[in-house]
Homo-oligomer: A and B are copies of this chain.
Amino acid sequence: MKLIYSFREGAANMKDLLGGKGANLAEMTKLSLPVPQGFTITTETCNLFLKNGDYPEDFGDQLREKLHELEDASGKQLGSIGNPLLVSVRSGARVSMPGMMDTVLNLGLNDETVKGLISQTEDERFCYDAYRRFVQMFGDVVLGVDHDKFEEALESLKEKRGVKLDTELKAEDLKELVSTFKKIISAETGGEFPEQPALQLKLAIEAVFKSWNNKRARTYRNLNGIPHDIGTAVNIQSMVFGNMGETSGTGVAFTRCPSTGAKIFYGEYLMNAQGEDVVAGIRTPEPIDELEKRMPEIYGQLFEIKNILEQHYKDMQDLEFTIEKGKLFILQTRNGKRTARSAVRISVAMVAEGLITKEEALMRINPEVLNQLLHPSIDPKAPLKVLTRGLPASPGAATGKAVFTPDDAVQMVEDGEKAILVRKETSPEDIHGMHAAEGILTSTGGNTSHAAVVCRGMGKPCVAGASGVIVNGKAKKFIVGDLTIKEGDLITLNGTTGELILGEVPMVEPKLEDEFGHLMQWADEIRKLHIRTNADTPEDAEVARHFGAEGIGLCRTEHMFFEDDRIPLMREMIISKDNPQARKRALSKLLPVQRKDFIAIFEAMNGFPVTIRLLDPPLHEFLPDPSDTKKTAMLAGELGMTYEEVRDIIENLHEVNPMLGHRGCRLGITYPEIYEMQVRAILEAGIECHNKGINVKPEIEVPLVSDVEELKTVKKMISKVADELGEEIKFKYKVGTMVELPRACLTADKIAKEAEFLSFGTNDLTQTTYGLSRDDGGKFLQLYMENGIMPEDPTVTIDRDGVGALMRTCVSLARKEKENIEIGICGEHGGDPRSVEFCHEIGLDYVSCSPYRVPIARLAAAQAVIKERRNIAELP
């Protein structure tokens, strides 16, 4: 088994085996670019080592062989006093995990070889600096000695010498430091620093392998959905030095601008410096253009190489180079990270340049990054004081003054200020405050919590479940770490990253360029899924149409009831629960209000279907909390009832598990007047719009159906109302159901017999399939994700094994019964790219998502088609 490949033996398409860095070093070698030579130990070796706790049998032989090859090529030898070979040892997995694993530089130095290096370079200070850096790095990374111990020794020496900068230390000082560092290592590990370069190499490789499983690497993989079992390769490469004087230097460059996407050579470099100096930001690097003036030949060579690389890889490249005594070396190339704007512009430009196809352009863009184009974002150059991190529940960024009640939010906005609403968790009662606020911060609740869902719909940033924040609503303050934030203090939310930031921060406003339009058009040409939106108001519907929504997949009628002028009527209706007369009276007042809402929505969605869900939440959500005696008393006053009467009714509506309680069609069946009113409002609105020449396509959706008999019962109510309106209904409408319970999936054939459409409510379906309440899951989900028990949050991406299996069953049963039944999805997953791909795979007709995610869904739907084509093309 071949465990090690020299750079000459590899190629770019061997990433799985050689890692991204190794494969690219090999590819550049093939392109005859000036790459310091070396070899790559395969990811398979890593996996075997981690599994067995030891190297494969003939690893030592292979390593010796490759080392000899490298020594022969360079004319240097590892451990040679005369002409010592120094190497770097770097990790490099299939997927880039920047900074997550360990690196050792200058390996091969010891008290003897350093002398050889001095005689070669004639620069004692440089050599001892390299040596002390190596001992420090080896001590930290390989031997596990606390990094700070070395820093303390360095600081203490600088103090002793009365200097401020590392560079002010002399060769002698650095030599002393090497000795001090070795003493620290002895004291901390109880063993000696290994002087033999061969042993250094063996230990360093081992340390890189082991770093694959360190905590930050595991966390990174969990967060980025990278499997834990692919392992890392290790690259052993001859050292080149950018810090060997004024004809040496090092830099980083991009073949196009990673920020704007402009077709310019973009980069920075530092003369007489090492790569880490550029990255660490201690000295300010110069723009790459300056290099042209300073070293025109080198610049010309670099410019040519960047063109070769971009043409070769057909993508914007991020390259690292070093100039050692006037000689250019390329240390690394990879596809460059870029902003959303840059990604879109580069992709579209490369199609125009004939470098890539439209399909390739579409595949280049991670749909999620479009969020950056649609929401304000924090200026990437701004310094931030991040206080804590919660869930990135709704993207975008906002600054405002902290407020703790919805009323205060409204007041603050009326006073002309911007507000950030801070709550433990939000409820439908807070909706006016959420409307007024710029963004929402909650200390509990997950990605599908009320705050998260509502904010995404509104396009406002939300940081949810920030468990580091302790909210004291009564005292109008919150505590985070040792800091107390009071009402009126400025804070900033980054809903894209989940960060809570102290104070005000400069923002970048989104701008949609032409390229964005091109890309979306290409996506629309390719995708098969229709994209609808979840919108409860005419305003939301307008926004979604602007983003390309082809209808409404979910209009939640209850949100209409929470508005200030409606909630009293709703409460009157609920409180008169055992008095059908009074209930009907209250409902008759709600009827024109709902009708008006629907008219406006039909107008906004002229020609497109509008799926309207009948009342879903349990009634107690519309009432004050009974422990809130003031509000309860106020309500009693409004309704002309005693406090006790109202309190008793509210308490009677209390449920142990409201999620599994008296809601959805169960409500509609027990209180038929409510659904009858809603159906009448829908149909009357349809009539009015139709008569005005608007093309209305209502789809009446029955929620929480667990058995076809429930659907039948509600259909009878709908028919009754429709019969009353009779001839006036001159448009077609559909009646269907939301599929949000496992039982609905399992009996979908029976349900399909009665339904004209099905729409997956995957929020609730996920909750019931997992037995997991989105409101309560925060207490353990975080730990589950960190420990890999749940590699990803099923409330964000559809769980294919469980929820997905039920969805497949549903689609197959339903289509067997009724081949062309319309099936969509309206849960939050409808805007998640990987879930959109799954929906395409199982043959849904549409996905529906919040307005701001419509472009993301359009792109994801196109990518799903392309991936499918590629998979089919790959079949034998």
Contact = CB atoms under 8 A, between A and B. Distances in A.
A167 interface: no
Interface stretch (A45-53, A172-180, A231-239, A775-783): A775-783
Interface of A: 627, 655-662, 666, 669-670, 704, 706-707, 709-710, 713, 740-743, 746-747, 750, 764, 767-773, 775-777, 779-780, 783-784, 787-790, 799, 801-803, 805-806
A742 B767 CA distance: 10
Contact of A656 (B706, B713, B773): B773
Contacts of A627: 627
A770 B706 contact: yes
A661 to B, nearest CB: 4
Contact of A704 (B743, B746, B764, B771): B771
Given A670-B780, A743-B799, 13 more contacts: A656-B658, A656-B659, A660-B768, A662-B779, A666-B780, A669-B789, A670-B779, A704-B771, A710-B789, A741-B770, A743-B770, A743-B771, A768-B771
A658 B777 CA distance: 10
Contact of A713 (B670, B775, B789): B789
A242 B217 CA distance: 95
Contact of A783 (B661, B670, B799, B805): B670
A662 B776 contact: yes
Contact of A655 (B660, B776, B805): B776
Given A627-B627, A779-B670, A802-B743, A660 B713 contact: no
A743 B764 contact: no
A718 to B, nearest CB: 16
A658 B764 CA distance: 15
Contact of A802 (B747, B767, B802): B747
B780 A662 contact: yes
A661 B778 CA distance: 9
B776 A657 contact: yes
A655 B777 CA distance: 9
B669 A783 contact: yes
Among A658, A660, A661, A740, the most chain B Cβ lie within 10 Å of the Cβ of: A660
A768 B775 CA distance: 16
Contacts of A768: 660, 742, 768-769, 771
A771 B750 CA distance: 18
A373 to B, nearest CB: 35
A661 B89 CA distance: 47
B802 A661 contact: no
9 contacts: A656-B658, A657-B775, A660-B771, A669-B783, A742-B769, A742-B806, A746-B769, A746-B805, A764-B771
A773 B657 contact: yes
A820 to B, nearest CB: 24
A775 B401 CA distance: 42
B706 A802 contact: yes
Contact of A788 (B709, B741, B771, B784): B709
A669 B627 CA distance: 34
Nearest to A770: B706
A709 B790 contact: yes
Nearest to A741: B771
A659 B783 CA distance: 20
B743 A709 contact: no
A148 to B, nearest CB: 27
A825 to B, nearest CB: 18
A564 B171 CA distance: 76
Contacts of A659: 656-657, 660, 771, 773
A595 B688 CA distance: 73
A791 to B, nearest CB: 8
Contacts of A747: 801-802
A763 to B, nearest CB: 12
A479 to B, nearest CB: 13
A805 B744 CA distance: 12
Contacts of A772: 660, 706
A746 B861 CA distance: 27
Contact of A742 (B655, B783, B784, B802): B802
A704 B746 CA distance: 21
A666 B660 CA distance: 20
Nearest to A706: B770
B780 A660 contact: no
Given A704-B771, A771-B706, A656 B801 contact: no
Contacts of A775: 655-657
B783 A769 contact: no
Contacts of A801: 743, 746-747, 750
A145 to B, nearest CB: 29
Contacts of A770: 706, 741, 743
Nearest to A802: B743
A81 B706 CA distance: 61
A627 B627 CA distance: 9
Contacts of A741: 769-771
A806 B809 CA distance: 11
| 6 pairs of A and B residues whose beta carbons are closest in the complex | A660-B773, A743-B802, A661-B776, A657-B773, A656-B775, A741-B771
A709 B802 CA distance: 14
A806 B746 contact: yes
Given A658-B657, A740-B771, A707 B789 contact: yes
Nearest to A627: B627
A424 to B, nearest CB: 10
A267 B572 CA distance: 61
A33 B372 CA distance: 92
A776 B660 contact: yes
